[in-house]
Amino acid sequence: MATWVPVPAPGHAVPARAVDRISVDPPVAGASSPVLSIRAVFTVAPEEPLLRGHFPGLPVWPGVLIVEGLEQTVRAGLAHAGQPVADLCALTSVRFLRAARPGDEIVFDVELRRIAAGWRARAELTLADEPCARLRADFAERDG
């Protein structure tokens, strides 16, 4: 029978902030389904502890934190717009086109469309006006 042994957290693991600031355009009036446009910005700090282990000698902002940045953008945008909290429930498409490195500013342009149980997000990310990632995801509103 296998024995389970606890694994300590790696020295570079810390809670991650993946968005520095956002702006939200008001919903489009008269649209068949409400649409929110959100722009978020995150600067990859060269001293970011997560970069020590990803990858030593060639630091790259982890793709999972790009996804985290989308979730933080959507949550902050919905809160700003007075909408209920919604949680990421499905990634329907993720394309990484260019690596984010220390000092890069990642810009998230996110369009949220209302769907039956929450919101559908289309995100285009850029670094210095060049495509960096494209994500499609669904967010479900919390009950209660």
Is 54 considered catalytic here?
A: yes
Q: Are strands 21-25 and 86-96 parallel, antiparallel or unpaired?
A: unpaired
Burial of residue 13, with CB atoms counted within 10 A of its CB: 0-12 exposed, 13-18 middle, 19 or more buried: exposed
Of 54, 113, 114, 136, the catalytic one is 54
Specify the length of the chain in residues.
144
- Give the helix/strand (H/E) hosting 138: strand 130-141
Q: Which residues are catalytic?
A: 54
